[in-house]
């Protein structure tokens, strides 16, 4: 019940699944809803949904960085999202991508950039993209 002598889960996906199961099922789930309220449980589930989204994004970026095809993209516009990661801004860039096979398409990418090297309109940056879905891109830093 209190996880004494129990090994802590190191896989974030499994830890999230365990937390979701604990909060929403069984005795602990019932006690949480009774004593902390349904709003608390809803907020916790919302937080776990955000965590799942972050895990999915990391998994997609890892796959793209290893398996994606190289391409260059022209930065058409850059907008600050107001978010930061490790003191670096997260920006949304509209990109015109030119693949080595001659396919050209536009897409929008949200990524963290160095505070001292924020891309500007007209810059060309290196990316990797998913050939099955060219709108899935990974901006190389």
The arithmetic mean of pLDDT across residues 123-140, rounded, is 86
What pTM value is reported for the model?
0.65
Does the structure show a pLDDT above 80 at 4?
Answer: no
- Summarize pLDDT for 27-79 with one digit per residue, the tens: 888 888 888 898 999 999 899 988 888 888 788 888 888 999 999 999 999 99
Taking the C-alpha atoms of residue 138 and residue 141, their distance in angstroms, rounded to an integer, is 9
The answer to whether the beta carbons of residues 107 and 135 sit under 8 Å apart is yes
pLDDT of residue 3: 61
The arithmetic mean of pLDDT across residues 116-124, rounded, is 91
pLDDT of residue 92: 92
- β-pair type (104-112, 88-98): antiparallel
- Summarize pLDDT for 70-103 with one digit per residue, the tens: 999 999 999 999 988 888 898 999 999 998 888 8
pLDDT of residue 138: 86
Q: At 113, phi and psi to the nearest 5?
A: -130, 160
118 alpha carbon, distance to own chain's centre? 20
Q: DSSP character for 122?
A: T
């Amino acid at each position: 019940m209190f996880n004494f002598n129990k090994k802590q889960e190191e896989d974030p996906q499994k830890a999230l699944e365990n937390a979701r199961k604990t909060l929403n099922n069984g005795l602990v789930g019932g006690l949480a809803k009774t004593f902390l309220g349904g709003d608390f449980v809803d907020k916790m589930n919302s937080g776990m949904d955000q965590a799942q989204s972050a895990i999915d994004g990391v998994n997609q970026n890892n796959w793209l960085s290893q398996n994606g095809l190289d391409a260059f993209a022209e930065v058409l516009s850059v907008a600050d999202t107001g978010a930061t990661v490790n003191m670096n801004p997260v920006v949304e860039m509209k990109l015109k991508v030119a693949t080595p096979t001659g396919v050209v398409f536009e897409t929008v990418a949200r990524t963290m950039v160095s505070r001292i090297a924020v891309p500007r309109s007209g810059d060309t940056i290196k990316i990797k993209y998913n050939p099955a879905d060219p709108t899935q891109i990974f901006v190389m830093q």
